[in-house]
């Protein structure tokens, strides 16, 4: 994921639905000690980074994202103690000072990165003693939106152009994260799978939703005309697979986790 295809306007079409998990994740952060330095990985437009910074009373918060279009929006939220940095999460995790952060936060971004055991180990190294890790990721890989895209990606002519990419999710089972956090020395862990029941106008709205997220991985790997063909077939199959109900009930699974490094 190069994050180059993020389109803030498309992403924000379902702003209200996407914000609730952010608030639920922020509520998992314990405020029994001051949170001075925080980092928001995959901060997007920075709007929620600003809310995090203000609600937790952080002294210094850094939002990290790779997308120029998302960061262009974030510029409006820069203020005393709140800055944004253009970097991949991988590079930031490798280069940031170890033990420097009281909070490593990431809402709806780490599911774009591979090898979570190695990634989480790097993120835990960024935490100061007593520091907290808080992460929210969609876990929709078994839903039609994802399985149909992956199946189509294996078909001609798309398979050759995608070079084996099928949007495979790196997201683990909740119990695997519980074990991983424990093995990385974190305690006071909360790991949960939550289903957010979104009420959308109709099943076509699901297509608009995934255009802003899941399909970006295909869009950036296919030439525009080939992506248009991909989208057309995908849309037909997706709409045929979903019930024709109004409103459309969209059960969206997410994993929320938070834990603390021992002081
Ligand atoms: C679904 S958006 C979430 C944005 C924000 N956290 C929020 O809750 O609204 C995912 C963000 O992660 C960023 N992203 C994805 N992969 C990334 C990577 N490897 N390094 C840095 N940013 C990445 C994208 O550019 C995008 O802004």
The CATH number for 157's domain is: 3.40.50.150
Expressed as residue numbers, the domain containing 122 is 8-261
- Domain contains 140: yes
Order of all β-strands in the sheet with 37-41: 82-86, 60-65, 37-41, 101-107, 127-138, 248-261, 186-200
25 lines ligand 1 (CB under 6 A): no
Distance CA 235, CA 207 (A): 7
- Domain contains 201: yes
- Domain contains 85: yes
74 lines ligand 1 (CB under 6 A): no
Q: How many whole angstroms from 61 Cα to the centroid of ligand 1?
A: 16
Mean pLDDT of successive 10-residue stretches along the chain, which has 263 residues: 61 81 98 97 97 98 97 96 98 97 98 97 98 98 97 98 96 98 98 96 96 93 98 98 97 98 94
- Domain contains 3: no
Q: Which helix (H) or strand (E) holds 121?
A: helix 116-125
Q: How many whole angstroms from 40 Cα to the centroid of ligand 1?
A: 10
Q: How many whole angstroms from 109 Cα to the centroid of ligand 1?
A: 5
DSSP letter assigned to residue 13: G
Pocket test for ligand 1, best of 2, 3, 216 (most atoms within 8 A of CB): 3
Nearest by Cα to 256 from 189, 179, 163, 188: 189
242 lines ligand 1 (CB under 6 A): no
6 lines ligand 1 (CB under 6 A): yes
Question: Residue 21 CA: which ligand 1 atom is closest?
Answer: 8
- Domain contains 251: yes
8 A C-beta contact, residue 85 and residue 23: no
66 lines ligand 1 (CB under 6 A): yes
pLDDT at residue 2, as a whole number = 47
Distance CA 159, CA 121 (A): 33
pLDDT at residue 18, as a whole number = 84
67 lines ligand 1 (CB under 6 A): yes
Q: How many whole angstroms from 3 Cα to the centroid of ligand 1?
A: 7
- Domain contains 1: no
Our count of domains for the chain comes to: 1
- Domain contains 2: no
Pocket test for ligand 1, best of 11, 19, 63, 66 (most atoms within 8 A of CB): 66
- Domain contains 196: yes
70 lines ligand 1 (CB under 6 A): yes
Question: Nearest C-alpha to atom 23 of ligand 1 is from which residue?
Answer: 42
Distance CA 2, CA 16 (A): 26
102 lines ligand 1 (CB under 6 A): no
């Amino acid at each position: 994921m190069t994050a180059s295809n993020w389109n803030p306007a498309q992403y924000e079409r379902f702003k209200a639905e996407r914000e609730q998990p952010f608030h639920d994740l922020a509520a998992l952060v314990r405020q029994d000690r001051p949170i001075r330095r925080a980092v928001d990985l995959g901060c997007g437009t920075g709007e929620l980074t600003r809310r995090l910074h203000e609600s937790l009373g952080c002294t210094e918060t850094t939002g990290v994202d790779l997308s120029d279009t998302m960061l262009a929006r974030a510029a409006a939220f820069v203020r005393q103690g709140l800055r944004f940095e253009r970097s991949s999460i991988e590079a930031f995790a490798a280069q940031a000072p170890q033990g420097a952060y009281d909070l490593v936060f990431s809402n709806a971004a780490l599911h774009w990165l591979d090898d979570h055991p190695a990634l989480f180990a790097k993120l835990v190294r960024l935490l100061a003693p007593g520091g907290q890790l808080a992460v929210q990721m969609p876990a929709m890989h078994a839903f039609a939106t994802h399985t149909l895209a992956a199946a189509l990606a294996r078909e001609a002519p798309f398979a050759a152009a995608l070079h084996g990419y099928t949007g495979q999710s790196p997201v683990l089972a909740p119990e695997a994260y519980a074990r991983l956090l424990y093995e990385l020395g974190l305690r006071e862990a909360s790991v949960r799978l939550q289903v957010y029941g979104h009420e959308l106008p109709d099943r076509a709205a699901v297509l608009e939703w995934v255009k802003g997220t899941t399909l970006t991985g295909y869009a950036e790997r296919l030439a525009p005309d080939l992506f248009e063909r991909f989208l057309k077939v995908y849309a037909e199959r997706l709409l045929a697979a979903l019930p024709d109900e109004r409103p459309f009930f969209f059960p969206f699974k997410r994993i929320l986790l938070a834990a603390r490094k021992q002081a």
